[in-house]
Amino acid sequence: MKPEELLQQLQHHPDFLKLTLAHPDFLPFASYQLENGTQIQIWDTGVIYCLPKQFGTQDIVLSSGVHGNETAPVELCSELLNDVLAEKLLLKERVLFLFGNPPAINAGVREIQDNLNRLFSGHHSKEPGVQSAERERAKKLETYVLKFFDEAPQGLRERKLYDLHTAIRGSRFEKFAVYPFLHGENWSKTQFEFLKACGANTVLLMQTPASTFSYFAAQSCKAHGFTIELGKVRPFGQNDMSRFTQAASALRALISGGELYTTEFNEADFNLYEVRRSINKATEAFTLHFADNIENFTTFDVGTLLASDEGVEYKVEVEGEAIIFPNPKVAIGQRAMLMVKPVSVAGKVS
């Protein structure tokens, strides 16, 4: 597709997701200006930069579709973007919209070959000779995000990346966020308040570096980076979008300068957890010993057998230990489950 053809389609039918899915491997660079003065730049398939004529001090990345079968965040972000392109929503901040894995979105699968959300912070290149479309995409997404932040005006600015997901299984707390490891820095009070405004008052505080998109944003870009889980995986057309109204309203207000309804941070309003241990899949013998409908954040009695692998059993070790992200289908060597426990952030929030 030529840039002029791309622009003609987008200007007549402002649906960037539709264009992305029709051209999942590549879209050429193209740019144009909306009548309200907002500059639109297409950097690649699934990557579109929006620069309003007048903007504030925030640089915001909204990411969805890093896992192709997590459709609700894709629909949510597409609706926000289409309103921008149709001039129904006037931006007041610089925004980069990303639809992470278009081929996987088209196929309705989590990934084509590699888990894209395990390939950031250079992990796309840590196995010499191993190639995949996801590895190339992770490398490009890193480049685009760095470019977006690096080209921001000088001065006191806030960098933010919200990577929106839905989980494979249900959760005791439908919406929750993963806060990347900050290497000893305090957690952000205002970010906790924003997460609560999105309906995600359950937060998992990571304790080690990771290969996720949100950790890349936090450490490589010095941004506020979050993975936000908005519910359970469902196919396109089967999402009850009314369940995402709170998150959609908060994001809309954030990027447009609208009224953002937050309340003063109070730890008692949150369910806070930290990772106690990570259980990796070592062999194809890895098996979970609980039902597929057991939800994230479920606790079991001490001593309960949770999983086994070749020559090893994983049992509940302490009272209150809960499961999250159990997935026996991951590749060998990858995380198959996290064990988490409640935690306090008293004295560690600023």
Q: What is the pLDDT of residue 163?
A: 98
- 3-class DSSP state for residue 129? coil
> Residue 243 has which token pair?
């369940």
Compute CA distances 60 → 17, 69, 97, 221, 232, whole Å: 19, 24, 9, 12, 25
> Residue 98 has which token pair?
């990303």
> Residue 63 has which token pair?
């990411």
What's this model's pTM, rounded to 2 decimal places? 0.95
164 forms bridges with which residues in the sheet?
Answer: 228
pLDDT, one tens digit for every residue, the chain (350 residues): 888 888 888 888 899 999 999 999 999 999 999 999 999 999 999 999 999 999 999 999 999 999 999 999 999 999 999 999 999 999 999 999 999 999 999 999 999 999 999 999 999 998 877 899 999 999 999 999 999 999 999 888 999 999 999 998 889 999 999 999 999 999 999 999 999 999 999 999 999 999 999 999 999 999 999 999 999 999 998 999 999 999 999 999 999 999 999 999 999 999 999 999 999 999 999 999 999 999 999 999 999 999 999 999 999 999 999 999 999 999 899 999 999 999 999 999 99
Q: What is the pLDDT of residue 111?
A: 96
291: exposed, middle or buried (Cβ count in 10 Å: 0-12, 13-18, 19+): exposed
CB-based burial, 117-137: b 16+ in 10 Å, e otherwise: bbbbbebbeeeeeeeebbbeb
- 3-class DSSP state for residue 293? coil
Cβ-Cβ contacts under 8 Å for 114 (sequence gap 6 or more): 132, 134, 135, 331
Q: What is the pLDDT of residue 9?
A: 86
AA identity, residue 217: A
Which strands form 312-315's sheet, in the order they lie side by side? 287-288, 305-309, 312-315
Q: What is the pLDDT of residue 3?
A: 85
Q: What is the pLDDT of residue 192?
A: 98
Residue (of 260, 26, 1, 300) closest to 136 by Cα position = 26
184: exposed, middle or buried (Cβ count in 10 Å: 0-12, 13-18, 19+): exposed
Q: What is the pLDDT of residue 152?
A: 95
In the annotation, is 127 catalytic? no
Query: CA neighbours within 13 Å on the CB side: how many for 265?
Result: 18
Q: Greatest CA separation found in the chain? A: 65
Q: What is the pLDDT of residue 1?
A: 81
Q: What is the pLDDT of residue 343?
A: 96
Q: Which is catalytic among the residues 134, 174, 229, 321?
A: 229
**How far is residue 164's CA from residue 189's CA, in Å, rounded to a whole number?**
20
> Residue 223 has which token pair?
């941004």
